[in-house]
Amino acid sequence: MTSLAGLALFALSYLSAFFTDAPQRPLPHYPEGTPEHAAVEIPASLGLGSFLITSLILALPLAYLVVRWRLPYGAATGYAIALAALAVVLMDFQRGYVLAATATAGLAVDLFLAWASRGKLARRAQTIVAAGLLPLIAWTAQLALAAAVETVAWPAELVSGVILLSAVVTAVAAGFIAAPITQTVPAR
């Protein structure tokens, strides 16, 4: 599963949140409908899209694994580190903080799954929460570290919107993966 997700990340690397410089671009305010407004808004929209696509590539294979099997502790962390390491290698080892941010998210998912497996939390709920938690923590940590190491010029509203939207979209998509399979009986 990790190799398939890695292949998807490689094929869509031009849309990867690991590679985008959109958060570093300032968003000055221009009147709606002017060419300047479009020139500023398009990179921000592409940045949002890159976070959403990367979130789906990161979280949905993991969601599939969570719904099908009880993962051993450390599996989500290893999965997240492997995918982030591939991205860091493709970036010529620039933005190493991406690896730390994604590893933190994987560890959080592992801790959640360990806690949830001891209780009576349904597998579907575990899948949905794990899929939403991975981008929530990964992008929060990545953007916080980017602000410390480089800069983040996006306003706080856009940063928090990207993080929350990524988490919600992946959680909803994981809900479809974890949906119970129903069989229809043909009418007689």
The per-residue pLDDT for range 24-81, each reduced to its tens digit, is 787 777 777 778 877 878 778 888 888 998 899 888 888 888 888 888 898 888 888 8
- Residues whose CB is less than 8 angstroms from the CB of residue 90 and which lie 6 or more positions away in sequence, other chains included: 10, 13, 19
pLDDT in tens, 102-137: 899 999 999 999 998 888 788 888 888 999 999 999
Name the band, by pLDDT with cuts 50, 70 and 90, for residue 174.
Answer: very high
pTM: 0.82
Please provide the DSSP assignment of 68-127 as one string. Answer: HS-PPTTHHHHHHHHHHHHHHHHTTT--THHHHHHHHHHHHHHHHHHHHHHTT--HHHHH
CA distance 9 to 14: 9
